[in-house]
Every structure is written in structure tokens, then in C-alpha cells.
């Protein structure tokens, strides 16, 4: 997403270099969406994977529409095939490996949208289906219509509420977990200052990054950094290792526009944490200590929240 919107200006050449480095490093999951930059992101991904399609598990999403009239949700079943075909064309591929409903359209029963998505599997346009930012009831409804391979949602050391509902529901249903913003929108990297964030950076409107909350959260990051130093890793690597340690069904998708940060993130897969390490993290940066209500932000601007 950051290649096309939300975090300020990006450079396509540098974005392509990051994507090429990702593939060369052995990263296989590429996650995009039709809404990111109104198709710009998918076209960028197409350039990156040209000639390397077999190296990639390609995921994209539909349901958030950005056009001249603004931003809206559309899960109407009669429009699903058209959105898929447009994504296939922009991506320059014949099949999407994992096709997500980006957000549930409140005007359309989720079962109707999933039903139309299932027809894409039958047609050979899509291999697997996913849903994003659903509640347990919506997930349960979705799987009654078609197998759901993955649920995407925000989850990190700094945002752990999904552990109360979405995570157990998905595991009971056999649905894989794909946490986005696993580095807390950059917070957990230890690289953020007290702000302010520049124009075009959507963290300006996220309560977790408001002045008082950010100051408190940065104090917690300092604690995280001390623990990371003890392990000989960066705070971002420790945060990713923590998430990977939550189970083999967890596939985080950290985003970055930096080749150096990409290499750092990838190396987190080699960090092994013991049960004691995990307990120490829970004590040092307990979930209730992070400040700022992501829920109100997401409810107010769901389509901005990713």
C-alpha cells in the first residue's frame, strides 16, 4: 500500500527495487489491492513479477472503491467478476492465488458476496478466497458458502484485540491468519520520532499517533528496544518474531518502501523466541499499556485503515 498511498510520496523505481529484492530474498507473498492508488499498486506489482509469476503467491483485494466520487464500499455480487477481471488485467496474470473481500459492504450480506467470489474459483480466475477485517460472525457466515483460506486483519504487539475474537474464531474454522501492519504502522521499528507526520501520511489521523498517545507508546518502544538489544536484534525483528511465534498459521505481511528495512524484516524469520522470552515480552510491553483507540479510527475511516 505504501508504494501508492497513505505514507506520503513514493518513487516507483525504488518501489520496484524493493519488490525485486523481496523476490530475490525468497519472499513469496505479494499482497496488494485494487484500491491502493486506484490500481497503481497492482500495475506496479505487475512490472515487478513479470517473468517471475511462478515465484509468487499473489494476493489482491476488492471491495474498497476509490474513484472521482471519493471512497466507498462495494460488495455487490453482480460487480465481483468485473472487479476481478480488472485486477487480472492490471496484474498481467491469468489467475489470482488469493482473492480477498477487502471490507464487508454493510448493504450486502457477506454470504452473497462470497457466493459470487466462489464463482471466480469455478471459472479458474482465482485459486483461494480470503476476507479482510471481518468479525467472527461474518467469518462464520462466509465459510458456510465457500472455503476461506485466510483472514486479514491488523495484529501486532501494539494491537492485540484480535486475540479475543477473530483469532480464536479463525482457528476454530481452519482459516489462516494474515496480520497486516505487524510493525504497528512503523511504531514498533523504533525509527519513529514524536512527529508531526507530514501531509499525506494517514497516521496524522490515527489516535495511536496523536501527541500524548504517541509519547507514551514511544516509551514502550524504548523498552522493546532494550529487550531486542539483549537478543541482538532490532525492535522490529523482535516484534515480527513475536507474531511468528503465535503459531504456524500466522503469516504476517510487513510492508516497507526501503530495501534495508526489507532485509531486516526478512531476517526476523530466523529469530527464535522461547516461552520465557514471550512471557518476558508480555510483562515488559503488556497489551493494555499501549495508548490510542484503533477501533474508533477504523470505524470512522475504515477504507483508510488499509
By the 8 A CB rule, do 30 and 59 touch?
Answer: yes
Question: Dihedral of CA 223/225/231/237: which sign?
Answer: positive
> Can you tell me whether residue 284 is helix, strand or coil?
helix
Q: If 0-12 CB within 10 Å is exposed, 13-18 middle and 19+ buried, where does residue 198 land? A: exposed
Instruction: Please give the DSSP secondary-structure letter assigned to residue 194.
Output: S
Distance CA 213, CA 158 (A): 12
Give the cell for residue 133: 477485517
Judge whether 100 counts as a catalytic residue. Answer: no
Distance CA 76, CA 55 (A): 32
Give the cell for residue 9: 510520496
Q: Which stretches within the chain are classed as H helix?
A: 12-25, 40-49, 77-91, 110-122, 136-143, 166-173, 211-231, 235-244, 259-267, 275-284, 294-300
Distance CA 125, CA 277 (A): 44
The total number of residues written for the chain in this structure = 306
> Can you tell me whether residue 219 is helix, strand or coil?
helix
Residues 7, 36, 99, 180: which is the catalytic one? 36
Q: If 0-12 CB within 10 Å is exposed, 13-18 middle and 19+ buried, where does residue 68 land? A: exposed
Distance CA 239, CA 235 (A): 6
Pairing of the two strands 70-73 and 64-67: antiparallel
Write out the catalytic residue numbers: 36
Amino acid at each position: 500500500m505504501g508504494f501508492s498511498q497513505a505514507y506520503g510520496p513514493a518513487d516507483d523505481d525504488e518501489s520496484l527495487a524493493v519488490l525485486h529484492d523481496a523476490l530475490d530474498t525468497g519472499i513469496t507473498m505479494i499482497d496488494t489491492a485494487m484500491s491502493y492508488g486506484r490500481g497503481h499498486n497492482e500495475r506496479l506489482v505487475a512490472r515487478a513479477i513479470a517473468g517471475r509469476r511462478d515465484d509468487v503467491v499473489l494476493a489482491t483485494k476488492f471491495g474498497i472503491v476509490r474513484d472521482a466520487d471519493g471512497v466507498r464500499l462495494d460488495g455487490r455480487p453482480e460487480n465481483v467478476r468485473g472487479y476481478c477481471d480488472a485486477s487480472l488485467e492490471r496484474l498481467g496474470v491469468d489467475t489470482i492465488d488469493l482473492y480477498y473481500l477487502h471490507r464487508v459492504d454493510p448493504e450486502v450480506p457477506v454470504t452473497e458476496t462470497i457466493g459470487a467470489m466462489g464463482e471466480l474459483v469455478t471459472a479458474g480466475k482465482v485459486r483461494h478466497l480470503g476476507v479482510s477485517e471481518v468479525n467472527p460472525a461474518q467469518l462464520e457466515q462466509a465459510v458456510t458458502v465457500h472455503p476461506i483460506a485466510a483472514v486479514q486483519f491488523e495484529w501486532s504487539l501494539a494491537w492485540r484485540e484480535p486475540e479475543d475474537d477473530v483469532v480464536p474464531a479463525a482457528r476454530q474454522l481452519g482459516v489462516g491468519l494474515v496480520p497486516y501492519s505487524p510493525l504497528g504502522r512503523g511504531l514498533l521499528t523504533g525509527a519513529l520520532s514524536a512527529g508531526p507526520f507530514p501531509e499525506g501520511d494517514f497516521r496524522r489521523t490515527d489516535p495511536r499517533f496523536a501527541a500524548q498517545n504517541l509519547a507514551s507508546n514511544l516509551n514502550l518502544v524504548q523498552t522493546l528496544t532494550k529487550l531486542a538489544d539483549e537478543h541482538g536484534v532490532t525492535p522490529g525483528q523482535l516484534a515480527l518474531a513475536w507474531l511468528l511465534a503465535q503459531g504456524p498459521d500466522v503469516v504476517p505481511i510487513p510492508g516497507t518502501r526501503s530495501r534495508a528495512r526489507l532485509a531486516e524484516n526478512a531476517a526476523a524469520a530466523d529469530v527464535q523466541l522461547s516461552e520465557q522470552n514471550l512471557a518476558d515480552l508480555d510483562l515488559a510491553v503488556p497489551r493494555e499499556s499501549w495508548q490510542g483507540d484503533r477501533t474508533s479510527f477504523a470505524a470512522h475511516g475504515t477504507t483508510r485503515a488499509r
